[in-house]
A and B are shown apart, each in its own frame.
Chain A
Amino acid sequence: MISLTTRQWEYYRDLIFELTNKELKLKYKSSMLGFVWSLLLPFSHALVYFIAFKYILRIKVENYALFLIVGLFVWQWFANSILAGTGAVLSNGNLIKKTKFPYEFLVIAVIISEWLHFILAFVTIFIFLGVYGIPPNTYWVFIPFLMVVQSIMNTGSAFLVASVTVFFRDMVWFINIFLNMFFYLTPIIYPIEMIPDRLRIFIVDANPMALFVALYRQIIIHGTFSYEYFLLAILYSVVIFLFGWWVFAKLKWKFAEVL
């Protein structure tokens, strides 16, 4: 059992707070709208998809705007965590080369910064709920748990890309392509029901992001909850986390040499 003294608690709290603070400061330095940009991006996507799918392809989904907003915010959280993760170690070469400290905190700071963004973005979802006149339901109590589970997956993914990118700079290109393909192969802009049965096992059951998006939509829009999906999402998240953590731990000894 690991027990921390009061001073250690204070130390880790300060360390996480300052690293996250630095992350946010650097992200929005000399940007006037700052945080608003990270909301405008998913909204602009939502608007384009809404026009393309609702009015041109005439997709039949109830509350399509809300459907898109929920899916896009959840996706954006994942994608941003990965993209920010690529720079978590790389952009801190100066610090890593001079001092020995738990490098894991660099990744955790990035994750917390993205998490704060998601929380704030989530508030806008409630505005949409008001517009559509959807009342809250008891399944909402699962939302915090869902966020915790997705945080675990995001953290694992960020650990993985943060460490691998140090040795293999092409990773940044690969990640962009990967995220783009992954986005369209995940039921975000289209509903699960439209996927042919024989493809569902790949596109939904084997895809943690599909599960997360589906779960948030079930809770917020339909007032239902699939325990099966939830358990599966927990399983994937824990596996991804452990894998990412393991890779990071294996590679971190070489960071100072390569940076």
Chain B
Amino acid sequence: MSVRDREIAIEVRNLWKTYVLYHHIVTSFKEVVLHFPRLFKKLRQSRFEVLKDVSFEVRKGEVFGIMGHNGAGKSTLLALIAGVIKPDRGTIKVKGRISPLLELGAGFHPELTGRENIILNGLLLGLTKREIMQRFDKIVEFSELGHFIEEPIRIYSSGMVARLGFSVAVHTDPDILLVDEVLAVGDANFQQKCLRKMEELRNNGVTMVFVSHSRAQMEAICDRIMTIDHGRVVSIEEINRHAEKKTC
């Protein structure tokens, strides 16, 4: 059965997202008091359109890549899919449980240890403590953090944080995995390991949305790649991975 015939896991229709730059608006009390009439004008000026009429769908078990320049709106799109922020207009339908947004400086508390963060993260993802402890050893093993797991996250290197973030995300049995550039800070070994793991998850029917600036990495794993430019979808191209595999 080809990917095209499978059910839809993520459906995004005519999505618009505007950020209101709150820090522009209420920088201080003084400003509110002194420039009150100007506030309304400012409110209009301080809007910023990040995503404009974005539509696409991702099938179950598909690896969907998103590329684009810095500030194109990729991370915003992932945050919308994760349900962390809300769109202004348009709809997002998601089927299944989503992993935490995996980006640099992932959702950890810097003062807590790796162990405490694994438990906290698992809980926020909807697992009970018992369910987390069943997976605990696997998470630590995959991350290769060793005794650092008992140290506070603030002393981790960025690669170590990324390792832990990725490891927690893939071991909590998500239906949908959102990966935003985390692999960039991992060393070659770990990148390989993550890509292998993603391949394994794909075979188990996990849907993935993958953001990266590395074209080669994207082509190696993605079924399709979408390019966005200043918040607009420019293209969605099919990657013929199976053909490539045959040639090598």
Which A residues have a C-beta under 8 Å from some C-beta of B? 7, 10-11, 14-15, 17-19, 22, 25-26, 29, 92, 94-101, 167-168, 170, 253, 256-258
Contact = CB atoms under 8 A, between A and B. Distances in A.
A253 B28 contact: no
A18 B129 contact: yes
Given A14-B129, A18-B129, A94-B105, A99 B111 contact: no
B96 interface: no
B85 A99 contact: no
Given A18-B120, A170-B29, A257-B19, A100 B112 contact: no
Interface string B20-46: 101000101100000000000000000
Nearest to A92: B109
A14 B107 contact: no
Interface residues of B, number: 36
Interface of B is mostly: loop
A231 B24 CA distance: 45
Contact of B84 (A7, A92, A98): A98
B124 A256 contact: no
A14 B125 contact: no
Contacts of A101: 124-126
B225 interface: no
Contact of A99 (B26, B100, B130): B100
25 contacts: A11-B123, A14-B128, A15-B123, A18-B119, A18-B120, A19-B120, A22-B109, A22-B112, A26-B109, A94-B109, A95-B120, A95-B124, A96-B84, A97-B79, A97-B107, A99-B125, A100-B84, A101-B125, A167-B22, A167-B26, A253-B85, A253-B86, A256-B85, A257-B19, A257-B20
Contacts of B206: none
Given A14-B123, A97-B84, 16 more contacts: A10-B128, A10-B129, A11-B123, A11-B126, A15-B124, A18-B129, A26-B112, A29-B111, A92-B109, A97-B79, A98-B82, A167-B22, A167-B26, A256-B79, A256-B84, A257-B85
B78 to A, nearest CB: 10
Interface string B95-114: 00010110101111111100
Nearest to B17: A257
Which of A92, A94, A99 has the most C-beta atoms of chain B within 10 angstroms of its own C-beta?
A99
B112 A25 contact: yes
Interface of A is mostly: helix
B229 interface: no
Contacts of B103: 98
A47 B124 CA distance: 44
B101 A26 contact: no
Contact of A97 (B86, B101, B112): B101
A257 B80 CA distance: 11
A219 B108 CA distance: 46
B207 interface: no
